[in-house]
């Protein structure tokens, strides 16, 4: 998985939510990715560590995260609808 994170321009997450995949995308994972990486998450929201995602977008560690219904761009204004709870949140 380390090679995948380092070399991929686009990563598509389609995994089921299990104990092994909970927070599979986390601070360590985001640091391994290219700064231009795009993540498409069609998996459950809990596969992504929400705090680490916000940090990675705000600091430019990754560029874009997309779920099946929204796109989140790391420009200081992030819209999340892949949260563990199914509500939508806007973070600045």
List the chain domain ranges. 2-91
What's the whole-number mean pLDDT along residues 13-38? 90
Contacts of range 70-79, beta carbons closer than 8 Å, 24 or more positions apart: 78/54
Average pLDDT over residues 18-31: 93
Q: Where residue 61 falls among pLDDT bands split at 50, 70, 90?
A: confident
Mean pLDDT of 69-73: 52
pLDDT in the model for residue 23: 92
pTM (global) more than 0.75:
no
The domain made up of 2-91 has a fold known as Rossmann fold (3.40.50)
pLDDT for residue 80 is more than 70? no
Q: How far is CA 20 from CA 5, 10, 61, 74, in A?
A: 17, 22, 24, 27
CA gap 69, 29 in Å, rounded: 23
Residue 90 contacts residue 78 (beta carbons within 8 Å): yes
């Amino acid at each position: 998985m380390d090679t995948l994170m380092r070399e991929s321009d686009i990563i598509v997450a389609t995994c089921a939510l299990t104990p092994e995949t909970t927070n599979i995308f986390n601070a360590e994972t985001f640091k391994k990715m290219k700064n231009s990486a795009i993540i498409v998450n069609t998996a459950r929201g809990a596969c992504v560590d929400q705090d680490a995602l916000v940090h990675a977008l705000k600091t430019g560690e990754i560029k874009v995260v997309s779920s099946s219904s929204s796109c989140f761009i790391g420009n200081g204004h992030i819209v999340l609808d892949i949260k563990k709870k199914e509500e939508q949140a806007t973070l600045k």
